[in-house]
Amino acid sequence: MARSSQRQRRAGCAAALALLVVLLLLPPHAARAQSDDYQVHDSHFHLTNYIQEGVEIEAFLEIMGNEVGRVALFGIPLQQTWSFQTSGNYAPSYYLHSDAPLYYYSFTDAYIAMAYRSLTPAQQARFDPMITGFNPADMYAVDHIKRVLRTFPGVFTGIGEFSIHKEFVSAKVAGNTASLRNPALDRIFDFAAEAGLLVILHNDLDIPFGKPDAEPVYLARMRDLLLRHPDATIIWAHTGLGRVVFPSGASASVGPAQRSPRHIHLLERALTAPEVPNLHFDISWDETAKYIVSSPEAVRLAADLINRFPDRFLFGTDAVAPKDRESYLAVYHQYQPLWDALTPEARQMVKKGNYERLFDRASARVRAWEAANIKR
C-alpha cells in the first residue's frame, strides 16, 4: 500500500511538472489569439459535412475575418452511404436525404490534423482541433483517441462533437447502437479526464415528440453518466435539444417555438448540482436559437439563467462547411435579443471568456499528457 501510494504521488508530481513545462513553453502567438479585436469565439464548428466535403481551411479563415477569433475545429464522424439500391444516381449529401445507413469515418481526424498543420503558427492559434472519428459504442474507441494523439502530437484539444442519442441519426448508424450506459463510453470519459481532453457531447434530452410533462427519457441516464465522471470537463451541445426534441413540457401541439420554463428548470438543476461542477452547455445551432429567441419571455428566461451561471455557457454556430460569412454568422446574429438581455459580464463570458478558459486549460493538460506519454 505504501509503495502504491508513493508511486501515485510520483506520478502526480511528474504530471504537474509536465503541465508547468507546457504552460511555460506555450508560444507567444497563443495569447494573440485571445485578442479583444474579435467579437466572438465559436465552440462548435464542422469544417466538413456528412459526405466529408467542406470549405478549405484557408478560405474559412477569410470567412472568420476579424469577427470570429477562435474556433473549435472538427469534421463529422459519420459518413452517409450512397446506396444505388436506395437512391439510384441521386447522391445524398445529408443524413435526411437517404434511408441508407451512416458509418463511422475515422479518417476525418487525420484530415482535420493535416488541415491544421498546413497553417502558419499565427493561423493555428485561432483553432482548437477536436477528435471525432471514433465509435462511442466500441470498447476500442479509447485506443483510437490515443493513437490520434500519438500520431499528431501538439494538435488536438478535446473530443467531439460526438453523439450518443440523436434524433433521426442514431437509428441509421451501422453496427451497435451507442448508449449512455455502455462501458465503452465510460472508458472514453475516463481517458478524457486523465488526459485533460475537453468533451463536446451531443445527447438529446428526450426522444422525438416526447410526451408533454413527462420526464425526458434520457435525463436520468445522462445524470448517471455525469455522476460517474465528475473529473471530465463536458460541454453538453445544444442544451440537449433538437429539431423535434422540444424543450421539456412543450410538444408538437403547441409548436416548437414555445419554450417551456420546465426546460430552464432542468438546466438549473444540472447547474446547481455540486456533483457535476465541470458540466457546461453550448447554445449552438439555429434550432436551439429558435427556442431561445421565440418570444420576449423565452429570451428573459434564458437570459436570467445565463446571468446567474455565466461561467457555464458557450456560444457556438454549429455551422457545417459554410460558403460565406453571412451563412456562417447567421446564428450569431439570430441571438441578438439574447446578447441584449445579458449583463456585460455574462455576454463577454458566453461569447469569449468561457471558451478561452476551457480550451486553453484543456490544451495545456493534453500537451502535458503527450509530454509524459509519447516517446520522442
Each residue's pLDDT tens digit, 142-192 = 999 999 999 999 999 999 999 999 998 999 999 889 999 999 999 999 999
Residue 251's pLDDT is 43
CA–CA separation, 294 vs 121, rounded Å? 41
Average pLDDT over residues 60-71: 98
Are 126 and 33 in contact by the 8 Å Cβ rule? The answer is yes
pLDDT of residue 252: 43
Name the residue range of residue 361's domain.
Answer: 44-373
Q: Would you call the peptide bond into 161 cis, given omega within 30 degrees of 0 as the criterion? A: yes
Reported confidence tier of residue 213, pLDDT bands at 50, 70, 90? confident
Is there a domain that residue 247 lies in? yes
Q: What is the pLDDT of residue 285?
A: 97
Q: How far apart are CA 353 and CA 359, in angstroms?
A: 10
pLDDT level of residue 244 (50, 70, 90 thresholds): confident
> Beta partners for 250?
248
Please tell me the pTM assigned to this model. 0.88
| Residue in 114, 145, 306, 170 with CA at minimum distance from that of residue 232 | 145
Identify the residue whose cell numbers are 511538472: 17
Whether residue 31 is predicted with pLDDT greater than 70 in this model: the reply is: no
pLDDT tens-place string over residues 252-286: 444 443 435 588 999 999 999 999 999 999 999 99
**Burial 354-364, CB ≥16 within 10 A → b, else e:** bbbebbbbbbb
Let me know if residue 231 belongs to a domain: yes
Lowest mean pLDDT among 7-16, 69-78, 191-200: 7-16
213: left (phi over 0), alpha (psi -120 to 50) or beta: left
pLDDT over 80 (residue 52): yes
Where does the pLDDT of residue 375 fall: very low under 50, low under 70, confident under 90, or very high at 90 and above? confident
What total of structural domains would you count in the chain?
1
Percent of the chain with pLDDT over 70: 87
* Cβ atoms of residues 180 and 204 within 8 Å: no
| Predicted confidence band of residue 28 (pLDDT cuts 50, 70, 90) | very low
pLDDT at 30: 47
- What pLDDT score does 214 carry? 79
Supply the pLDDT for residue 17.
53
Q: In which band, very low, low, confident or very high, does the pLDDT at 2 lie, cut at 50, 70 and 90?
A: very low
- Average pLDDT over the chain, rounded to an integer: 89
Within-domain flag for 4? no
| pLDDT surpasses 80 at 81 | yes
> What is the CATH number for 72?
3.20.20.140
Query: Within a 13 Å sphere around the CA of 268, how many CA atoms are in the beta-carbon half?
Result: 13
Q: Is residue 19 part of a domain?
A: no
Q: Find the range with the poorest average confidence among 11-25, 131-145, 197-211.
A: 11-25
Nearest CA-CA partner of 303 in 334, 339, 258: 339
Residue 21 lies in a domain: no
Q: Is residue 244 part of a domain?
A: yes
d(CA 169, CA 160): 16
Confidence of residue 245 (pLDDT cuts 50, 70, 90): confident
Give the pLDDT confidence score for residue 337 in this predicted structure: 98
Residue 313, domain member (yes or no): yes
**Nearest-angstrom CA–CA distance, 287 and 239:** 11
Residue 16 pLDDT exceeds 80: no
* The pLDDT value given to residue 36: 78
**Residue 55 above 90 pLDDT?**
yes
Q: What is the mean pLDDT of residues 347-352?
A: 98
Query: Domain for residue 38, yes or no?
Result: no
Cell, residue 115: 488541415
* Triad 286, 110, 362: Cα angle to 5°: 65
